[in-house]
Amino acid sequence: MSVDGTLNQPADFEHSYSELGQSYVVPTSATPVSSPRWIAWNTALAQELQWPQPWSHSDEALAALAGNGQFESSRPGASVYAGHQFGSFNPQLGDGRALLLGEWRNSQGGLCDIQLKGAGPTPYSRGGDGRSPVGPVVREYLMSEAMHALGVPTSRALAAIATGDPVYRQQREPGAVLTRVASSHLRIGTVQFFAMTRRGEGLDELVTYATERHYKAALDTARAQDPKITCAQVLLDEVSKALAALVARWQGIGFIHGVLNTDNMLLCGQTVDYGPCAFMDRFSAGRVFSSIDSGGRYAFGNQPGIVHWNLSVLAQCLLPLIHTDEHTALSLAQGSVDRFPERFSAVYAALLAAKFGLEAMREDDKPLIEQFFQQLEQDDLDFTLAFRWLTEVANETTGASPITELFNPSDGLRDWSDQWSQRRQASSTESAARMQGVNPVVVPRNHLVAQAIDAAENEDYGRLKVLNDRWRSPFTWLAGDLEFAAPPTADEEIHRTFCGT
Ligand code: AMP
Ligand code: MG
């Protein structure tokens, strides 16, 4: 309902978060651009959102999503947050190159944020230009949509628009704006801002808001048992579950986020901020791509531990709201933090069981699984294709798929697979079939994303469309997959990715 009591029309933005006040979101207009032009419009997502037809791929939409116009009911604003960046606390960050247009309610009643990324400076730009080069916009569009198709909770991309204006980084680059959709953009860093920078002022309102927005069902269930349970306690425990499940999904597909700072961790448990992220080609637990992660803090194998650490930061912020008694608060918070590893392990073990075609993971399977990863690392084998090879072996489809042309299993892996086949002997045909839905054929490999970026920098968006289309069905072989499923050649391989801010 809007303030005057009338029901929202389907095409109205809502502003529940901004209505908490300007200490949360500061009204800020987008800065107009010279000559906006479509890079991409996501028809499938627009349909899911029941996005109004007149606002879809129209001149009105182009203007509004580039920052040259405004949808009638939108109220652009910049949100504040703080965060630990590479372990150091920064008391004030915020939407420096992002604007929240408002919240959008889909037909199922779900609420999501609609945000422009790269639409000009805001009060939180800290000297930055508030803009984004086309490269990071293309990367985020492709990666977030591919992650969604792979079944990983993630922010989405509704549109990408070239601005016609240059941005200056190491060199002059064409600028672009992304329209990002997320369940919300509330972060661990948002809680940190009110808890740490504002010493608790406004924290209660934020925590109540976030819990009711994202974990209402869990709150109701908890309150039915214990009417005095606090939002903070429920929020922490639900975020513990959501982030444990999220990072388990990343580990299961070889995704490296690259900048797991607390300001890049959403309370709703979706992946956000596709900066220097990448999918691994050859497996290595220590794999790092980000040019700014020289210490390997956010290396592939460190991700579960880092997310656990980030959760402990959230717990610390929430302590005063969890319980009036300090000791009780501490023990409740510690409980949610301590349960993270077992929650992660439970989701990850179930996922691995599915990936290896096992009904369930047994305690005595551990050495076999560890040996598999050791073998991949030792023989420099491709993560995605190794799992797909097992899938084709289990389903006896190696002759009918391009896998043999793409993947050459080492002797060590073949020996390992004999042991694995023995372990699988009692497994059902369903467990083999299930492998096909969890072991993708294609993932957004770095060298392919780079091709789309190179083309887009020359105003050619054809490669983006081709790749985006291909990554919509990642679990099925399609014609032309020798190109899309192949690992990079030595020349094509990319070892470093950049934030590109
Ligand atoms: P990120 O690395 O994307 O997580 O961004 C870290 C912080 O820097 C956030 O507060 C961003 O809003 C801000 N930021 C990044 N790039 C820019 C930019 N070009 N202009 C202004 N602020 C930026
Ligand atoms: Mg960020």
Among the ranges given (101-110, 221-230, 442-451), the one the predictor scored with the smallest mean pLDDT: 101-110
- Please identify which of the residues 12, 263, 273, 481 carries the catalytic annotation: 263
397 CB less than 6 Å from ligand 1?
no
Give the whole-angstrom CA distance, residue 118 versus residue 315. Answer: 32
Has residue 7 got a pLDDT over 50?
no
How would residue 108 be classed by pLDDT, with cut points 50, 70 and 90?
confident
Is 475 within a domain?
A: no
Give the residue with greater pLDDT, 6 vs 218.
218
45 CB less than 6 Å from ligand 1?
no
Predicted pLDDT at 109 = 84
**CA-nearest residue, atom 19 of ligand 1:** 130
What would the two tokens of residue 244 be? 């444990």
189 CB less than 6 Å from ligand 1?
no
Residues 89 and 17 in one domain: yes
Residues 67 and 95 in one domain: yes
Predicted pLDDT at 500 = 61
Radius of gyration of the chain (CA): 23
The SS3 of residue 410 is: coil
Residues 222 and 106 in one domain: no
Has residue 463 got a pLDDT over 50?
yes
The SS3 of residue 112 is: strand
Q: Exposed (0-12), middle (13-18) or buried (19+): which is 339, by Cβ within 10 Å? A: middle
Each residue's pLDDT tens digit, 182-203 = 999 999 999 999 999 999 999 9
Predicted pLDDT at 294 = 84
Give the whole-angstrom CA distance, residue 356 versus residue 154. Answer: 25
**CA-nearest residue, atom 23 of ligand 1:** 96
Give the residue with greater pLDDT, 498 vs 273.
273
Give the whole-angstrom CA distance, residue 11 versus residue 27. Answer: 21
In this structure, which ligand is nearest to the CA of 266?
A: 2
Find where tokens 């927005």 sit: 213
Residues 280 and 333 in one domain: yes
**Last residue of a domain, which of 435, 458, 478?**
435
- Ligand 1 atom showing the smallest separation from residue 132 Cα: 19
Asked if residues 214 and 239 have their Cβ atoms less than 8 Å apart, the reply is no
pTM: 0.96
Each residue's pLDDT tens digit, 413-437 = 999 999 999 999 988 889 999 999 9
**Last residue of a domain, which of 184, 199, 219?**
184
Predicted pLDDT at 501 = 55
**Last residue of a domain, which of 295, 330, 349?**
349
Is 495 within a domain?
A: no
* % the chain with pLDDT above 90: 92
Residues 211 and 170 in one domain: no
Is 498 within a domain?
A: no
Give the whole-angstrom CA distance, residue 360 versus residue 362. Answer: 6
Predicted pLDDT at 1 = 31
Crossing angle of helices 216-225 and 231-253, rounded to 10°: 130
130 C-alpha vs ligand 1 centroid, how far in Å? 8
Is 470 within a domain?
A: no
Is 441 within a domain?
A: no
- Mutation to probe ligand 1, out of 163, 260, 266, 501 (largest number of atoms < 8 A from CB): 501
Residues 77 and 197 in one domain: no
Has residue 497 got a pLDDT over 90?
no
190 C-alpha vs ligand 1 centroid, how far in Å? 15
Among the ranges given (120-134, 252-266, 332-346, 425-439), the one the predictor scored with the smallest mean pLDDT: 425-439
Residues β-bridged to residue 175: 133
93 CB less than 6 Å from ligand 1?
yes
Predicted pLDDT at 5 = 33
Give the whole-angstrom CA distance, residue 200 versus residue 204. Answer: 8
Residues 80 and 207 in one domain: no
Is 386 within a domain?
A: yes
| 3-state DSSP percent of the chain in helix, strand and coil, to 5 | 45, 15, 40
Give the whole-angstrom CA distance, residue 498 versus residue 489. Answer: 21
In this structure, which ligand is nearest to the CA of 498?
A: 1
**CA-nearest residue, atom 15 of ligand 1:** 501
**CA-nearest residue, atom 8 of ligand 1:** 96
DSSP assignments along 258-315, one per residue: S---GGG-BTT--B---SS-EE-SB--TT---BTT-TT-TT-GGGHHHHHHHHHHHHH
97 C-alpha vs ligand 1 centroid, how far in Å? 6
Residues 376 and 323 in one domain: no
Predicted pLDDT at 107 = 75
134 C-alpha vs ligand 1 centroid, how far in Å? 15
Pairing of strands 156-168, 172-182: antiparallel
Task: Identify which of 439, 388, 442 has the alpha carbon closest to the alpha carbon of residue 417.
Answer: 388
Residues 306 and 323 in one domain: yes
Residues β-bridged to residue 88: 85
Residues 271 and 394 in one domain: no
Residues in the 5 Å CB sphere of ion ligand 2: 264, 273
HSE value, Cβ hemisphere, 13 Å, CA-based, for 275: 18
Give the whole-angstrom CA distance, residue 182 versus residue 267. Answer: 11
Has residue 6 got a pLDDT over 70?
no
Mean pLDDT over each residue of the chain, to the nearest integer: 95
Is 306 within a domain?
A: yes
Is 297 within a domain?
A: yes
Has residue 466 got a pLDDT over 90?
yes
Residues 395 and 341 in one domain: no
Has residue 2 got a pLDDT over 50?
no
Residues 341 and 358 in one domain: no
Among the ranges given (206-215, 257-266, 284-293, 441-450), the one the predictor scored with the smallest mean pLDDT: 284-293
Has residue 8 got a pLDDT over 60?
no
**Interval 387-415 mean pLDDT:** 97
Q: Give CB contacts under 8 A, 24+ apart, made by 17-23.
A: 17/79, 17/100, 17/103, 17/113, 17/184, 17/186, 17/209, 18/75, 18/77, 18/100, 18/102, 20/202, 20/205, 20/206, 20/209, 21/202, 23/80, 23/198, 23/201, 23/202
In this structure, which ligand is nearest to the CA of 81?
A: 1
The SS3 of residue 114 is: strand
What would the two tokens of residue 394 be? 């289990």
Q: Which domain holds residue 312?
A: 189-349
Has residue 252 got a pLDDT over 80?
yes
Each residue's pLDDT tens digit, 134-175 = 999 999 999 999 999 999 999 999 999 999 999 999 899 999
How would residue 17 be classed by pLDDT, with cut points 50, 70 and 90?
very high
Verify whether residue 293 is a known catalytic residue: no
Each residue's pLDDT tens digit, 44-85 = 999 999 999 999 999 999 999 999 999 999 999 999 999 999
Report how many domains make up the chain.
3
